[in-house]
Amino acid sequence: MRICAASILLCCLLAPVIIEKKDITPPTHLSILVDTSQSMQLVDAPTNDTSTSRLSQVNQLLFNEQGQFLQALHDRFEVHLYPFDTGLHQSTVLPQDLDSETLPQFEPNGTLTDIGTAIREAAAAWKGQNTAGIVLITDGGHNSGQFPLEDVTALDVPVYAIGVGSVEPPKDIQIQHIDYTPIAYTNHESIIRVTVVQTGYTGKTTRLSLREMQRKTLVDTATLTFNQSPNATPANATTTQVVELKLTPQVEGNFQYTVELPVLDGELTEANNQKTFSVKL
């Protein structure tokens, strides 16, 4: 007994320590952005006698039975799957062992596409952490807001783009931006500058309208023809032009105005054919 007691006392005096090694290296994040806007439901020229929508091709790439593409990335990185249209939506949580039956399929629920905003939001989500980059899967049909490439490159995050669908963009016209003075004066003319972007309607003519929303009063109109850019060769090239409308208010108050374009034949979406702004008089 004395020997046992002495042994226990000796162990306590020596203060034994159990050392357990753990890898506490923070994970490297990889964001995969999947375009889920309306243009991704388009079916391009069939290959191998099969007609498949653009988003269905993406679902097959990510969630097929073998799962080689997604599994290979999942083995190396902490992968975050983000559907996006005008911005990022909640990411899909991936299980450790990927199983195609447990992963949801992406649906083309978005009305518009804002690629620049999606990239900026994905970069901000993991700012300050180890990031391998952003994988962008899209048909390139950006039709909401501006997309300054220099802003994206300034994020200093690698972006790996995977194109889906035809190289010819779908037909669309959009009111991209309205430049106006939020405070105006009665009986004084104000100039409203509207930036219009079109794809696939070169040579077509349409009419841009300015209306006061409450009374639906037509304030001004302008006819515009989508001329081909001097530096562009294909007829479906995207062009941008600025149109001026005039506003001369007669009474004081707070008013809302809308600038709108009619829907053209074959247009992808009408959701970007109008914009609203407010003016205090």
Is the predicted pLDDT of residue 4 greater than 70, yes or no? no
Helices (H), the chain: 2-14, 54-63, 68-76, 115-125, 149-153
Q: Is residue 100 part of a domain?
A: yes
> 24 phi and psi, to 5 degrees?
-105, 20
pTM over 0.95: no
**The last residue of a domain, from among 132, 163, 194:** 163
122 and 222 fall within a common domain: no
* 3-state class (DSSP) for residue 259: strand
Q: Is residue 263 part of a domain?
A: yes
In this prediction, residue 241 carries a pLDDT of 93
Q: What is the C-alpha separation between 179 and 240, in angstroms, rounded? A: 15
Q: What is the CATH number of the domain that holds 236?
A: 2.60.40.150
C-alpha distance across the termini of the chain, in Å: 99
Local confidence band at 197 (pLDDT 50, 70, 90 cut-offs): very high
159 and 176 fall within a common domain: no
CB 277 within 8 Å of CB 178: yes
Mean pLDDT across the stretch 105-117?
Answer: 91
In this prediction, residue 51 carries a pLDDT of 74
Mean pLDDT across the stretch 61-69?
Answer: 78
For residue 1, how far is the Cα from the chain centroid?
A: 76
75 and 129 fall within a common domain: yes
